[in-house]
């Protein structure tokens, strides 16, 4: 246990605030079918919207790290300001309607301020949890997963709501998360100031064989993760074309498939206490890669079987995220931990842009039932890289 007693409210409040804040991520994806129907947006707009958020997150992460924002100011204040600004840019979609380029600009801004929510929420947690930080991170990554899935739940709960109301609801949730964090979670006793971000440390960071193993395993994981999350609704919609009458439940099942990953995060964290993070990450990445391989077959199974398959995939595709975070932090050079994690995270999210755009451009040719085969190289290369650590 930590030397300083942690009030019982701290972890639940951080988790709830993180869940609320990260609902920004896929808010645009949840209403994309409405935008495409009413505004005539192209099919490729789904991938473009997701890419805009990822680009914004990369830019925000680099800016926050370079200027040491979370070290100069209280992280809880940064979390609040970014939650309010992110909510504001998300709500501004009400004003621009279904105009593609303004929408992409607003999604980029939302991604930028997500860099002050997700990573900063982790920093707030590290200020309260020391020896038991791994357990806390498992819950926080689970909150990220549920937050990412949340807009897909708002859509079916408000069947009669226009898409503008869905976006405004997400903005209200995000802002509430920022206010909750600021009001109930003071800066913790273990809060540390990180070394200034050093981009020139790139060579030194990847000089460690163990760090290369964990980082490249993480890159393989990221090739698959966000592309799967982005195109799950398209996969379900394509299945719906052959099974009429289920289109009204696509958003709900998208929420369940993505949200199921919270189970994998928490369970993976518990199992890692006995087996180690490398073995848990290896097993989940292997299971997820196998799901990529059989995804075309699952498309032709009965509806309950296909949904069960996707739910299992949702569990394992992200369950290794917290373990990769732990491995990267463990094997990064001790004097360059902050720079190492920033660089690896930015590379990882840049990889998601490539895989998302790949699927976005070829789905009209392959069909949604076959498009996930393009994700197989990620898990394979990630497993090859991770094998070094899993054998230890």
Residue 103, domain extent: 8-186
Distance (Å, rounded) from C-alpha 197 to C-alpha 192?
Answer: 14
Give the chain's residues under pLDDT 50. 1-2
Alpha-carbon dihedral 158, 163, 168, 174, rounded to 10 degrees = 80
CA dist list (Å): 144 to 23, 64, 139, 373: 8, 19, 9, 26
> Residue 194: inside a domain, yes or no?
no
| 231 and 365 housed in the same domain | yes
Are residues 208 and 178 located together in one domain of the fold?
Answer: no
Do 75 and 182 fall within a single domain? yes
194-196-199-203 Cα dihedral, nearest 10 degrees: -60
Q: 236 with 289, same domain?
A: yes
- 192 in a structural domain: no
Copy the structure tokens of residue 141: 């990554």
- The reply to whether 191 falls in a domain is no
What CATH number does the domain containing 76 carry?
A: 1.20.1250.20
Which of 157, 186, 215 is the endpoint of a domain? Answer: 186
What's the rounded Cα separation, in Å, for the pair 386 and 239? 34
The SS3 assignment for 162 reads coil
- Burial environment of residue 8 by CB neighbours within 10 A (0 to 12, 13 to 18, 19 or more): exposed
Q: 196 in a domain, yes or no?
A: no
Residues 6+ apart with CB under 8 A from 7: none
SS3 state of residue 244: coil
- Is the domain of 160 the same as that of 22? yes
The number of domains in the chain is 2
pLDDT at 387: 94
Cβ atoms of residues 205 and 113 within 8 Å: no
Same domain? 156 vs 221: no
**263 and 390, same domain (yes or no):** yes
pLDDT in tens, 311-335: 999 999 999 998 898 888 888 887 7
Residue in 225, 236, 242 with CA at minimum distance from that of residue 284: 225
Residue 1 inside a domain? The answer is: no
How confident is the model at residue 340, as a pLDDT?
A: 82
pTM: 0.89
Residue 2's pLDDT is 42
What's the pLDDT score for residue 248? 60
């Amino acid at each position: 246990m930590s030397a300083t007693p942690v009030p019982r409210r701290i972890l639940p409040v951080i988790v709830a605030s993180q869940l609320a804040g990260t609902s920004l991520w896929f808010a645009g994806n949840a209403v994309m079918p409405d935008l495409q129907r009413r505004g005539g947006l192209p099919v490729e707009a789904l991938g473009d919207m997701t890419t805009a958020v990822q680009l914004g997150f990369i830019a925000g992460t680099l800016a926050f790290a370079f200027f040491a924002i979370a070290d100069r100011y209280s992280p809880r204040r940064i979390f609040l300001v970014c939650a309010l600004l992110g909510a504001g840019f998300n709500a501004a979609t009400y004003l621009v309607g279904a105009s593609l380029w303004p929408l992409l600009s607003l999604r980029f801004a939302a991604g930028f301020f997500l860099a002050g929510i997700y990573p900063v929420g982790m920093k707030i947690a590290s200020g309260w949890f020391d020896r038991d930080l791994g357990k806390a991170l498992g819950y926080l990554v689970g909150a990220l997963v549920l937050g990412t899935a949340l807009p897909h739940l708002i859509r079916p709960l408000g069947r009669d709501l226009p898409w503008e109301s869905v976006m405004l609801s997400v903005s209200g949730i995000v802002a509430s998360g920022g206010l909750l964090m600021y009001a109930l979670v003071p800066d913790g006793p273990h809060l540390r100031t990180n070394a200034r971000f050093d981009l020139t440390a790139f060579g030194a960071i990847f000089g460690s064989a163990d760090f290369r193993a964990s980082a490249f395993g993480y890159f393989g994981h990221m090739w698959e993760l966000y592309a799967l999350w982005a195109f799950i609704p398209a996969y379900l919609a394509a299945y719906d074309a052959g099974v009429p009458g289920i289109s009204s439940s696509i958003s709900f099942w998208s929420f369940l498939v993505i949200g199921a990953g919270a189970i994998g995060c928490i369970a993976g964290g518990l199992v890692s206490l006995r087996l180690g993070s490398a073995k848990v990450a290896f097993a989940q990445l292997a299971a997820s890669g196998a799901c990529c391989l059989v995804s075309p077959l699952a498309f032709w199974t009965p509806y309950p079987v296909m949904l069960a398959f996707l739910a299992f995939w949702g569990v394992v595709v992200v369950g290794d995220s917290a373990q990769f975070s732990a491995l990267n932090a463990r094997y990064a050079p001790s004097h360059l931990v902050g720079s190492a994690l920033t660089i690896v995270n930015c590379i990882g999210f840049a990889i998601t842009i490539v895989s998302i755009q790949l699927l976005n451009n070829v789905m009209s040719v392959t069909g949604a039932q076959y498009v996930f085969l393009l994700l197989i190289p990620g898990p394979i290369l990630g497993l090859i890289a991770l094998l070094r650590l899993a054998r230890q």
